[in-house]
A and B are shown apart, each in its own frame.
Chain A
Amino acid sequence: MAEAAIRLEQAGYRRSALVEWLTTVDHKKIGILYYWTSIVYLLLAGFLALLMRIQLAQPDMHFLGPKTYNEVMTMHGTMMIFAVAMPLNAAFFNIAVPLMIGARDVAFPRLNAFSYWSFLFGSLLMWSSFLFGHAPDAGWFGYANLSSSRLYSAGPGLDFWDLGLQVLGISSIAGALNFFVTIVNMRAPGMSLMRMPVYVWMVLITAILILLAFPSLTVGLFMIMFDRYFNTNFFNPLHGGDPVIWQHLFWIFGHPEVYILVLPPMGIISEVLPTFSRKPLFGAPFVIFAGIAIAFLSFFVWAHHMFTVGLGPVPNALFAASTMLIGIPTGVKVFNWLATMWGGSLDFKTPMKFASAAVWMLMMGGVTGVMHATVPLDYQQQDSYFVVAHFHYVIFGVIVSGLLAGTYYWFPKMYGRLLDERLGTWHFWLTFIGTNLTFFPMHFVGLDGMPRRYFTYSAETGWGTWNLVITIGAFILGLAQVLLLINVVKTMRQPATAPADPWDGRTLEWTIPSPPPAYNFAVIPTVRGRDAYWIEKYGDGHHVPAATDTTQRREVHEPRHDNPGHGPLPPGVHLPKPSWWPLIVSAGLTAMAAGMIMHGTETLGPLGFPIVGLGAFVVFFGLLGWHFEPAIEHEEAHVA
């Protein structure tokens, strides 16, 4: 069937748009799928945050009950981490990385599609828990034995969490492998590792972190699954198990995860600041090695989430020291960004606004991070709102701001249009004010002893005033994001007239049209330095600008593709073939997880294992089909 579709397409017919998106293996389209799925989830999980803020606006509110609050809180955290921040990063890996390294696609295009579909199905599986009235409620960190024992978490809520995360984990690992291999193998000639854009560097480091950190989570999730389904006692203290083991497994994953989330936005900041300062990144090798140092150290700090568990003074002191060490490369990054701006010609377009604000908020979240690493302070701050303030400054202030900077920056590469600057400015200022109004007062209530994950508090605690301010801030922050949607709708109604290089960019993605044709580069460029395109345009003191700017000229002569991918291919270009198999394998995998969840319920229990078997069958034959399907269109064309 798929083959017939290909022949039709090559004969000049169009497949239906739906089929095209379902079978696409084009990294740009997969990036757009990732992007919009994550943005929808950002709004949904943000909506959950607003529900919590209504409940906490005043003491003794009865808006959400205790169990509902815990479900909303757990889903907010879990989805923001695994279904918003990670896939939104993956969206930009897809949109930008192949273009920045001068590649025509990723190393494994079908695996790329598989990553997306597993992410979509796995996250839908988790969201669906609300429809069944049993959302997970043990926090995003799912501490055993609250999470691992059906005595303390009855119902399928935690099964949705455990199995859903397993599917999302497979998606992340597949994606990480893909980008690792892509970056290592598919760079344009001349792009040595040290000439690679800093964003690509951060993606490479992130891919390695995912590959090393996720197995620990997977092992932990399997142990919880075995405790819940097969009555093992990994985390059951009554039979010799120990719930603290879960904390070690989770945080050996969980702390690198923080850097999995933040390194790519740091990379975006490292691209946006130089572009809008018209200066190269100050001390780029130091920024890169700081990223490597952060990633390396991140595997030796996990117990700083466990200072109150009772590990003893020696482990606490050692983990405090290793945690504080991370402050050094982080400081190096901040100072290099500030030095990049110094002496530049700063153009505060929307991406630059978000990136500059992210630098400041990284400092805000960083100094409180040092406080938590100071073990005695952590005895007071652990699990209080002070911690909530800290990590939201990092997650919203740096990660989301960085990704919003990326949105405004690369939107022309996604859609050939520039987002509206006026709306962008409003979006930025409301987001910035909302972020600080929401998360700064959390420091105060934290120091005043308010623990996190409380569904309510009494008036005598005196936490009410600042909580009301926080709630007002949260609503400003939430409503500000609507401006992004309005901006997108407004922009998409205009013709796609963005130039190839709207920002006077420095890297290779700006050498090709906006949006790029399906094959990205008609001729693979040759790279002469880190700011590959800037050197071709202006020289760098060592290289003179190219006498005739071939990249620019090519754009002029190339016909515009309003429907990229359907024009004739340049000679010698082979594109990966669209495929149904990634979608099918992902569906089978998710069916296995769904069957497992059913098995844990009373009503659907008998259906569980048959559905697991059916899913396994689909996965097996899906992989067979995948294996025997020719990967490249080119051969197909010859046969035909």
Chain B
Amino acid sequence: MCCGEGAERVKDMRPISGWRRWMSVLPLAGLAWLSSGCGVIGGKIASTSDPAGDQARHIWDLFMVPVWWLTVAVFILVTGWLLVNIFRFRRKPGDTRIPPQVHGHPRLEIAWTLIPAVILALIAIPSTRLIFQLNRNPGADTNALRVQVIGHQWWWEFRYPEYGIVTAGDLHLVVDRPVVLTITSQDVIHSFWPPRLAGKVDAVPGRENTMVFTPEETGVFYGQCAELCGAQHAHMQFRVVVQTQQEFDAWVQKHRQPAPDPAPGTLAATGKELFEGPAGCAGCHSVNPTYDPSTPINKTLMVGPNLAYFAERQTLAAFLPNTVENLHQWIANTEQVKPYSIMAEKWWKIRAQQNQLLTDEQVNAIVEYLRSQQ
């Protein structure tokens, strides 16, 4: 196991004296353990150390070489010197000696002005190169997929202007195909962050930022908001679904028209009626996955996320796994599931005040309808 190696190396150090050796070895053993990264970091859904996209990979590589190893060097230098000072120059009891009054040493000062300067230059050069590489002009890449990302309190909307498709919560991308994201916000400042694929870019209302990266693995990747945007900042997740080109093409083809209506007389059909009528869902949510890219964005924005093909979504309410139970809870008890959300404040609470909360059967019908969106 990798942790063991650090400890092995430590044993070979020549003995100084018992506890002094122990004290100086401890930080080194800790470092060896940390730098091997076994179990401490990585392997989690948001680990920046497990890149699955080119941007995240370049960043992690820069973090390890040279930044991490220079950090280790500085750590050893400063910690080592401090420990030597502490153990070598500690005053013995009864010692009244006045040590030589050394005021300074200009050549040493020059040396330790230069040491940090050199270390920083070693970091600054590859760093600056990567800044420009990551911000490369997206226009040059004609093959790139283009997606508009719009942050809302507290969910993410994704629009594909080339295809006239709008969706929410799940961002569908193509493996090994660059993507140019145009990121903005509808209300306050958010920050778009899929940690395993790329860094983060702020979604600022009134501004458009771009982010360019290439997913390098297929799968479902975790994403989240990284700028405090109000009460439910922690519940503003999204998922990035990275597919092959064929899978993505099929997805696009499917989303060019709405899901078929449920068969008349089924529970889902009752749900559709409720959704469009008395339950008031359609006031904020659309089930039409298309939009007209030539109209200005603010003319086509809806208050709530688009729910077309809802059954395919990874999450609901921007944080819960998309299961029947969670969906039922969300509609029946919005205020408990995600307080302060628009649906809780402007729909559930008002209906609760007017004693018009949906019955269990009505909720079931709407759930059935949304699950039929596939």
Contact = CB atoms under 8 A, between A and B. Distances in A.
B188 A460 contact: no
Interface in A369-388: 370-371, 374-380, 382-384
Given A313-B131, A339-B108, A346-B89, A447 B204 contact: no
A617 interface: no
Nearest to A444: B41
Interface in B144-190: 153, 187-189
B101 interface: yes
B102 A343 contact: yes
Given A338-B82, A345-B99, A363-B75, A375 B233 contact: no
Nearest to B136: A313
B46 interface: yes
B225 to A, nearest CB: 7
A343 B89 contact: yes
Nearest to B237: A458
Interface in A39-74: 65-67, 70
B223 to A, nearest CB: 10
Contacts of A237: 204-207
B265 interface: no
B131 A320 contact: yes
B322 to A, nearest CB: 14
B228 A453 contact: yes
Nearest to A279: B99
Contact of A66 (B44, B63, B195, B231): B231
A310 B134 contact: no
Contact of B228 (A143, A282, A331, A460): A143
Contacts of A498: none
B132 interface: yes
Contact of A338 (B78, B97, B225, B340): B78
B259 interface: no
Interface string B56-71: 1011101100010001
Interface string B30-70: 00000000001111111111000001101110110001000
B120 interface: yes
Contacts of A309: 202, 204, 209
Contact of B113 (A66, A328, A384): A328
B104 A278 contact: no
Given A338-B78, A370-B120, A376-B62, A312 B202 contact: no
A138 interface: yes
A538 B205 contact: no
Nearest to A137: B231
Contacts of B99: 277-279, 343-345
A379 B191 CA distance: 11
Interface in B298-348: 319, 339-340
B101 A146 contact: no
Contact of A320 (B97, B113, B115, B128): B128
Given A382-B200, A538-B98, A376 B130 contact: yes
B170 to A, nearest CB: 16
Contact of B101 (A331, A359, A463, A540): A540
A324 B49 contact: no
Contact of A448 (B41, B102, B227, B232): B41
B132 to A, nearest CB: 5
A571 interface: no
Contacts of A282: 102-105
A4 to B, nearest CB: 54
Nearest to B130: A376
A177 B204 CA distance: 38
Given A280-B101, A379-B200, A346 B85 contact: yes
Given A280-B103, A328-B116, A334-B78, A345 B95 contact: yes
Contacts of A320: 124, 127-128, 131
B365 interface: no
B19 interface: no
Contacts of A138: 228
B316 to A, nearest CB: 13
B282 interface: no
B201 interface: yes
B16 interface: no
A379 B59 contact: yes
A152 interface: yes
A461 B43 CA distance: 10
A308 B201 contact: yes
Interface in A310-363: 310, 312-313, 316-317, 320-321, 324-325, 327-328, 330-332, 334-336, 338-339, 341-348, 356, 359-360, 363
Given A310-B207, A342-B89, A363-B74, A462 B43 contact: yes
B127 A65 contact: no
Interface in B231-265: 231-235
Contacts of A382: 191, 199-200, 226
A541 B113 CA distance: 28
A297 to B, nearest CB: 13
B109 A65 contact: no
Contact of B188 (A145, A279, A448): A145
A451 interface: yes
Contact of B48 (A67, A278, A448): A448
A411 interface: no
B179 to A, nearest CB: 16
Contacts of B277: none
Interface in B103-129: 103-105, 108-109, 112-113, 115-117, 119-120, 123-124, 127-128
Contact of A359 (B43, B82, B124, B189): B82
B11 interface: no
Interface string B208-229: 0110000000000010111111
A335 B198 CA distance: 37
A376 B134 contact: yes
Given A145-B188, A312-B135, A379-B59, A447 B48 contact: yes
17 contacts: A66-B231, A70-B231, A70-B233, A139-B228, A279-B100, A284-B103, A310-B210, A320-B127, A321-B128, A324-B124, A335-B115, A359-B82, A363-B74, A370-B120, A376-B199, A448-B42, A463-B44
Return the 3 tightest CB-CB contacts between A and B, nearest first. Answer: A379-B199, A449-B46, A237-B206
Given A313-B134, A451-B234, 14 more contacts: A66-B231, A243-B204, A278-B98, A279-B99, A284-B104, A309-B202, A335-B112, A342-B81, A356-B86, A375-B130, A376-B59, A379-B199, A379-B201, A444-B41
